[in-house]
Amino acid sequence: MSVDKYHFTKQFSFKNIETIRDEGVALLDIFEENEDKVYGIDFLPKAMMNAYIYDSYFNVYYRSKQKEAIAAHKVYEERFLKVILTIMGYSHDTYVESDTLLKKHGTDIMAIPADAMGNVHLAKPRKNWRYFYRRFRNEKPEKQIDLLSLFQQAFRDYTDVVIYLCDLQIILFFSDLYVVCLIENEESREFLEHICTTEGLYLRSQITEIS
Pick the closest to residue 98 from 36, 11, 8, 158 (CA basis): 158
Which residues, at least 6 apart from 49, have a Cβ–Cβ distance to it below 8 Å?
Answer: 209
Which residues, at least 6 apart from 131, have a Cβ–Cβ distance to it below 8 Å?
Answer: 141, 142
State the amino acid at position 163 in one-letter form. Answer: I
State how far the Cα of 50 lies from the Cα of 54, in Å rounded to an integer. Answer: 6
Percent of the chain with pLDDT over 90: 45
**In this predicted model, which residue has the larger pLDDT, 55 or 76?**
76
pLDDT mean across residues, the chain = 80
What confidence category does residue 173 fall into, taking pLDDT thresholds of 50, 70 and 90? Answer: very high
| Model pLDDT for residues 87-117, shown as the tens digit of each residue | 999 999 999 999 998 888 888 998 887 664 4
Per the CB < 8 A criterion, the answer to whether 123 and 148 are in contact is yes
**In this predicted model, which residue has the larger pLDDT, 45 or 186?**
186
- The pTM assigned to this predicted structure is 0.82
